[in-house]
Structure 1
């Protein structure tokens, strides 16, 4: 099992790091690529072909501002893409511009999307998808969810 994580700028690294942390918990292999869809599209296209040849299961793609990276990736592969809209200090809309760009994909170019800056949920959603194919991931995910529930119940009891 393998996930490819794309983001368009080195400045997105801090946001996308949250995805890698959850993937490490589940021992899911991943590789990160920093490639601008607008500035070096030919490298992006070649990298998508490489990712496909490596039998990658899913792609997580984070992008800010116009946020075309997830859509361009989805248009070039049948590997499912989860888009992460990223807030950019250069933008005026607080990341909503990126969110709209990712969720308003045209018919026939699907992308799943998570909340602004929420690469953690993108990775966790990837884990849910992988759990349908890989029984060992499913077992870990069930245990993970039970642990979350127990932790929350403990916090509630401590507050009472």
Structure 2
């Protein structure tokens, strides 16, 4: 049954593109645990930070979709209301008015929604950040930082949500934290040399 569902997702553009540690689209394996969605493919370079963190750091398959509440609201409703049952967390990126995460939070009261504000326009993402943060009571969005840090942190936050019931993801999170600590240790080990080089 799982294989049949996965193949259906692979080849039906209506669902989006499945990305797993094993591959993309037809070469992907396992059902998606996270939806990564954005308002336009111009957001894709930023949101690949999210996809690749999920995929390579935590081994989490995800579904990637374009959803625009301003250009095709009906398809947003259709996509979000008919997600594969395997999806447990939604990550949504938007800029400007940034209505996408809030709309999704209203449509799917049963799933956590993480918002990534896009750094664009005259206000450089501040407008998107405030739009997401100021959701009314009852439709929360967990809002990350503007830009690349937010895109990576969204993946980590999603992994932590899933790790509550998944020991394998919990172990990967611990490994990720240890790698970050090791980077600091390596920097300290080479610090004296860098100081001498910078200030002879």
Q: TM-score range by the shorter chain?
A: over 0.9
Partner of 2:24: none
Displacement of 1:39 after TM fit?
1.1
Partner of 1:56: 87
Q: 2:134 aligns with which of 104, 116, 126?
A: 104
Q: Which has the larger radius of gyration?
A: 2
List aligned pairs for 1:9-48, cutoff 5 A.
9-25=40-56, 26-48=58-80
- Give the ranges of 4+ consecutive aligned residues of structure 1 lying more than 3 Å apart after TM superposition: none
Residue 140 in 1 paired to residue 172 in 2? Answer: yes
The two structures, once aligned, show a CA RMSD in angstroms of 1.1
Partner of 1:7: 38
CA distance in 2, matches of 1:92, 1:102: 17
Displacement of 1:133 after TM fit?
1.1
Displacement of 1:131 after TM fit?
1.1
TM-score between both structures, scaled by the size of structure 2: 0.76
Partner of 2:158: 126
What is the aligned length?
Answer: 157
Displacement of 1:54 after TM fit?
2.4
Q: In the TM superposition, what whole-angstrom CA distance separates every residue of 1:75-100 from its partner, at most 9, and x where no partner exists?
A: 00021000000012xx2111100000
Task: Give the secondary structure class of the aligned counterpart of 1:18.
Answer: helix
CA distance in 1, matches of 2:156, 2:86: 20
Task: Give the secondary structure class of the aligned counterpart of 2:190.
Answer: helix
Runs of 5+ consecutive residues of structure 1 not aligned to the other structure: none
Displacement of 1:18 after TM fit?
0.3
CA distance in 2, matches of 1:92, 1:143: 39
Runs of 5+ consecutive residues of structure 2 not aligned to the other structure: 1-31, 193-200
Partner of 1:66: 97
Displacement of 1:105 after TM fit?
0.4
TM-score between both structures, scaled by the size of structure 1: 0.94
Task: Give the secondary structure class of the aligned counterpart of 1:5.
Answer: strand
